[in-house]
Amino acid sequence: MIHPFMTNPDSGHLLFAMNGSINGNLQNAILEVAEHGLCNLPCSTRLRKRAFHILVECLQNVMLHGEKLSEQKYSQGQVMITALSDGILIRTGNEVSEAQSSAIRKKLQRLEGCAQDTLRSTYKKQLVEGKLSEEGGAGLGFVDIARKSGNDINYRFYPLGQNRYFFSLIVKVASNGRYSD
Amino acid sequence: MEDIQIEGTPKTPSVKFIASEGSLEIKGRSIPENSIEFYKPLMDWIEQYSASPQKETVVNIQLEYFNTSSSKCILDLFKKLEVINDQIVINWYYEEDDEDMLEAGEDYDAIINIPFKMIEIEEI
Determine the average pLDDT of the residues in A86-108.
92
Helices (H), chain B: 35-51, 68-81, 99-111
Distance from CA of B72 to the nearest CA of A (A): 6
ipTM attached to this prediction: 0.90
- Segment A73-81 shows an average pLDDT of 82
- Asked if A148 lies within 8 A of B110 by C-beta distance, the reply is no
Q: Which residue of B has its CA nearest to A129?
A: B72
Cα dihedral sign for A87, A33, B73, B54?
Answer: negative
Given a cut of 80, whether residue A127 has pLDDT beyond it is yes
Model pLDDT for residues A128-152, shown as the tens digit of each residue: 998 877 766 778 999 999 999 988 8
What's the pLDDT tens digit per position in A36-73?
999 888 888 889 999 999 999 999 888 877 655 545 56
CATH architecture of B4-121: 2-Layer Sandwich (3.30)
Residue B14: per-residue pLDDT: 98
| Interchain CB distance below 8 Å, A24 and B36 | no
Q: Which of A44, A120, A132 faces B72 most closely, judged by CB atoms?
A: A132
3-state secondary structure of A81: strand
pLDDT at A104: 93
Cα nearest neighbour of B123 on chain A? A45
Q: Which amino acid is at B14?
A: S
pLDDT at A177 over 70: no
What pLDDT is stored for residue A21 in this prediction? Answer: 83
Burial class (CB in 10 A: 0-12, 13-18, 19+), A134: exposed
Q: Is A180 exposed, middle or buried (0-12, 13-18, 19+ CB in 10 A)?
A: exposed
Instruction: Tell me how many residue pairs between chain A and chain B have CB atoms under 8 A apart.
Output: 74
Q: What is the pLDDT along chain B (124 residues), one digit of tens a residue?
A: 899 999 999 999 999 999 999 999 999 999 998 899 999 999 999 999 999 999 999 999 999 999 999 999 999 999 999 998 779 999 999 998 899 999 999 999 999 999 999 999 988 7
CA A86 from centroid of its chain's CA atoms: 19
- Between the CA atoms of B109, B114, B118 and B122, what dihedral angle is there, to the nearest 10 degrees? -110
Phi then psi for residue A116, to 5 deg, are: -55, -40
Residue-range domains of chain A with CATH:
12-174 (3.30.565.10)
